[in-house]
Amino acid sequence: MHLSIGSPPVDIYGSVDTGSDLVWTQCEPCPQSQCFRQEAPLFDPKKSSTYNSISCFSFQCVIAGTNCSEGDCIYSLAYGRGLHGSFSSGNIATETLTFGSTSGQPLEMPKIIFGCGHNNSESPNTPSNRTGTIGLGPGSSSLISQMATSIAGKFSYCLPHQGSSTINFGGIVAGAGVVSTPLIIRDHYYLTLEAISVGNQRLEFVSGGKYFIDAGNIFVDTGVQRTLLPLEYDSNLKLVMSNMIRAQPIEIKIGEPGLSDILCYNISSQPELPEVTIHFKGADVKLSPSNIFQNFSDDLMCSAFRGGDANTIYGNIMQINFLIGYDTEQRTVSFKSTHCANN
């Protein structure tokens, strides 16, 4: 997501993340050994007339849920798990954020709480133009919570397979083909997964050998690629899927503790993929082949599902080419299949 920070405004490019709250960007001073390389110039708070540092005793520091160091409000965040995670730490401050808009008139939002990162690491496959993260989660320090009154708790995004699209603050997802499911807000945006269908075979969602369709059993996270499911359920899903695909499966081992192998196929075998439908409460989301498998390399395509021993997460591969709208006041999430590069 492209926006600007400070006065005069400096361009930043943050990974849109519904799985975290804080907006942060790399800031000067940022030694090469402590920060990742970015294409855009680093934001220098000393050159901005609207930058304000936050003391440990301010309400903004409490909202951001952070720590104190020599009277300054600081943060420390870790993303992902294992060797492939990323992190950021630095100072909590307030700044003016400037958004471009479809009307062509920039929108300024003053005194937004954000993180000025001085020690940061990125995960592999991160876009080279990234400067930080745009937290859209439900926490008090997220961009959505700080914009809540002006957008009536509504926002939507459309992740394209390639190219760019716009994010909408304040609008709703409507029209033919829209399906909606109840939203449960805790530390993340939770939905209720009831089952997954592969072809004509429906697998009721289970966890630990028991039916597990309690309200809010999976959360939506644009910051995670693959959809993470309980290990036993993922194993059953792989078995059903591989039985329906007439090609020799390959399991790729990636050394991450607590995660299962990924089901892959040689692209040259031209596997025909079955139709997959995600059954949320009250909403059946029919996936396209590109939501189910993604090219892992020049000759391998790999599943967007993966088993894990921790959280159950609806990842971003399955969100591609869906207009997804959140209404945090009415507590719904809506899905509409579309070509996101056109939106």
Q: What ranges make up the beta strands (E) of 201-240?
A: 201-204, 206-207, 210-211, 218-220, 227-230
- Which CB contacts under 8 angstroms, 24+ apart, belong to 38-42? 38/128, 38/129, 38/130, 38/131, 39/128, 39/129, 40/10, 40/11, 40/12, 40/13, 40/129, 40/131, 41/10, 42/131
Instruction: Map residue 82 onto helix, strand or coil.
Output: helix
The catalytic residue positions are: 17, 221
CA 123 vs CA 154, 302, 337: distances in Å: 30, 19, 29
CA 340 vs CA 30, 162, 164, 170, 178: distances in Å: 35, 9, 8, 18, 15
Nearest to 17 by CA among 193, 221, 314: 221
DSSP code at position 145: H
Phi and psi dihedrals of 133, rounded to 5?
A: -135, 140
